[in-house]
Structure 1
Amino acid sequence: MKWSEVCIHTTNEAIEPISNILHELGASGVVIEDPLDLIIDRDTMFGEIFELDASDYPEEGVYIKAYLPVNSFLVETIEEIKLAINNLTTFDIDLGKNQITLSEVNEEDWATAWKKYYKPVQITEKITITPTWEEYTRKNNEEIVIELDPGMAFGTGTHPTTVLSIRALEKYIKGNETIIDVGCGSGVLSIASALLGAKDIYAYDLDEIAVKSTEQNAKVNQVNKSIHTKQNNLLNDVHMEADLIVSNILAEIIVRFVKEAWDNLIHGGYFITSGIIQAKKQMVLDELEQQGFEIVEINELEDWVSVVAKKK
């Protein structure tokens, strides 16, 4: 069978919404080629233990690659992708060059080629994320290893927004918490929460593929009994008393459910938000403070921002 590789030249800001569009329109996985990944020795990361070919990467922006079967619907699907991506400008999302190119690949090449991009990555001093197909040996008994298969939902756990989220979870989870993960994706934040000692994690995502991916990855990491998944639109119709809410999602989406986050947190509970670009940081801070949240921390990694807020 032949597959068409769809390559979109865009910006870091547009990675998650475009990846979501690609999955909704039939892509079974995406590859992100970000030139920042070529900088192996950087102070803000613990370091990826693999080598990358610089010729695969753009000089500016990022490549998002997805694979679609070559069939009679391909032309219509590509047009739908273009239209959906162009509509992102209504949310003030910078699309950069926004160039889309197509190329054909054979099934046997596609089935394995994308996996070369995903290798074990040490996220914090304590946590390492590794693909399920990689052999990895713990450095010590205290190391937490999260195994992920990102093939079903975008998110390998190594994007700066995810790293910021996991670092915050590691700091604020003390044990036995009830946690809500809004926009769970591949489930990496829910899994990290469980492995760090949280008692119950409620993982929500509007995308059915993401919900299934979270369930699958939870089983791989043997924390499925602690993670309760549901297809849901943000926190609509959710009513509970959580100790912590985490959401790695677009800034434009975060500000839409700040009140619902407040209503579902205990007094003294934490709201960890990530996926925020520098230009949208103040917008999120203003919305949080207007609701009554106290800003506890603002952390930055590359061009991304994470905010930890507390319900006073």
Structure 2
Amino acid sequence: MVPGERTLVAHTAGPRQRGRQAGAGGVKVLVFGVSGQVATHLNQHDWVTGLGREQADLSDSETCAAIIRDSDADAIINAAAYTAVDRAESEPDLARRVNATTPGAMAQAAADRDIPFLHISTDYVFDGQGEDPFRPDASPGPLNVYGRTKLAGEEAVRGAGGRHAILRTSWVFSAHGMNFAKSMLRLPETRDALTIVEDQIGGPTPAGAIADALMIMARAIADGQGGGTYPFAGAPDTSWKCLARETFVAAGRDVKIIGIPTADYPTPARRPLNSRLDCSDLASDFGVTRPDWKAALRDIVKELT
């Protein structure tokens, strides 16, 4: 599960020396996650070592922290999480261990080594009220267990006191893993009409763009630049109904999409209506701008079909 079966060894060189050893990537990055949407893209880099669940189970915080302490990485990216939003309602303790307790322990281990810790969070830390994009300093108010555990994870990462970045993102999609666009494409071609929620608004975000942003941030923070909490989502903001329609257009399928309110599609976990994110800080600090999700969607649909 680890690309190239590279062995993690105790670090013996200073950050800049290790960075030179890393080659084109500038820094050696240890990624928690292998098969997830973002992790799949991160692990395409030669200077990245990815750890799957067999090597690093996020329900075991002590083991994950020990891996960081014993590694020679220049930066850590946590691309693994408990993301089953509805199932989290019935598994709150497991969701909290994976999304909060272990990231806190990992961030502390990274802080002890004085290396950056980058952590992926979510728009679900907000209550979805209003129509304005949420800034990094907006007051959180998660509506479900998943959002509460991810918020607790953010707080634990900040509380470790080390160099860190928290990337809040939304509506992730790619050719890998499970996501809304792939679910649409799996529907039988005999379906000529679908009802899709139209009053939840957010920015669909290509997993590849998230991976690219994290690598840029890891290099910069390793060099002492930037850090903190950064929203990141694709542009323009849209609805699930529109995302479904664009997916079928890209696939050349004629499917009628009927919009419905969230109230007509009850789920175990409540979803925020407003998932718009203000991504300006990421652009100013790292030069990373919002990706065009429609262009990325066309590429992904082409790859899948």
Is TM-score (shorter-chain normalized) higher than 0.5? Answer: no
- TM-score with structure 2 length normalisation? 0.29
Q: TM-score scaled by structure 1? A: 0.28
Greater per-residue strand proportion: 1
Q: Of Structure 1 and Structure 2, which has the larger fraction of its residues in helix?
A: 2
